[in-house]
Amino acid sequence: MKIKFYKYQGSGNDFILIDNREKMANEITMQDIKKMCDRHFGIGADGLMLLNTKEGFDFEMVYFNSDGKEGSMCGNGGRCIVQFASEMGIKKNEYVFSATDGTHTAEINLNKHISLKMNDVNGVDYSLDHFVLDTGSPHYVKFASNIEDINVVSEGRKIRNNREFEKKGINVNFVETLDEDHIFVRTYERGVEDETLSCGTGVTASALMAAHNDNGFNHVDVKTKGGNLSVEYDKISDSEFKNIWLSGPATFVFSGEYEIKEQ
């Protein structure tokens, strides 16, 4: 069986997208997804997404990590699938779509940047040297200096696999403050089990912890290894954040056909 696929990237976080509104990819297996995402023997990607129909929504986003398992919310993936939906003929000023963590709203602005509304955050676990919070996916946020010199894979893997987080896994973000409202973020992602060039939910979590206004509106510009993003939000308290928007480009890379061989 041959499947038409499209490759997109959002600040270097890359994804395989399939238009599944006709349910052509319903039989795709975890092993198929793992092979397609393989960078040596497949198409290569950090994850795969299906664009499905769902009553009451413009579309449904179904996201799989590169290990083939269905994943939690992916911020850069959410922005990429909105751009994909537009290019597949779903033309809107504002999109409302369903994802694993609920309903999301998104817009495409005049610069062709995608702004994605993330879910409110109503809890943060504070520790001496890190924060843990959920922005659609669970994140460990640690501020440090000179993060370019950190071995993110080695250090991130230790945290992700320690006794506290091993069972469910966690994404690990190392964050450097560049100035009052500008940070640099590097992320080790569970499911990929490697550093990715960018992580949308990780960027969001890091930006929330980098608030420059103790209450009210915040805008944080974020540098990642794959490009620049921005996060805007209202800080209600140290543990409560609302009106969270993740913004940045989402770009088509290439398309093709992939043959899925019968097992």
- 194-232 tens-digit pLDDT: 999 999 999 999 999 999 999 999 999 999 999 999 999
pLDDT of amino acid 73? 97
Indicate whether 55 and 137 sit together in one domain.
no
Indicate whether 147 and 229 sit together in one domain.
yes
Instruction: Tell me if residue 74 is catalytic.
Output: yes
pLDDT of amino acid 192? 97
Domain of 39: which CATH number? 3.10.310.10
| Single-letter amino acid, residue 233 | Y
Q: Is the pLDDT at 175 greater than 80, yes or no?
A: yes
What value does the mean pLDDT take over residues 26-40? 96
Instruction: Tell me if residue 80 is catalytic.
Output: no
pLDDT of amino acid 263? 62
Q: How far apart are CA 188 and CA 147, in angstroms?
A: 13
The answer to whether 160 touches 167, Cβ cutoff 8 Å, is no
Indicate whether 14 and 33 sit together in one domain.
yes
**Confidence bin at 190 (pLDDT 50/70/90):** very high
What angle do helix axes 75-87 and 200-208 make, rounded to 10 degrees? Answer: 130
Domain span at residue 114 reads: 2-118+250-259
Q: Tally the domains of the chain.
A: 2
pTM: 0.96
Indicate whether 64 and 8 sit together in one domain.
yes
Residues 99-126 as b or e (16 or more Cβ within 10 Å = b): bebeebebbbeeeebbbbbbbebeebee
Indicate whether 100 and 201 sit together in one domain.
no
- 89-122 tens-digit pLDDT: 999 999 999 999 999 999 999 888 999 999 999 9
What value does the mean pLDDT take over residues 140-149? 98
The residue annotated as part of the active site, out of 25, 51, 199, 210, is 199
The full length of the chain comes to 263
Indicate whether 112 and 214 sit together in one domain.
no
Indicate whether 200 and 106 sit together in one domain.
no
The residue annotated as part of the active site, out of 74, 116, 172, 229, is 74
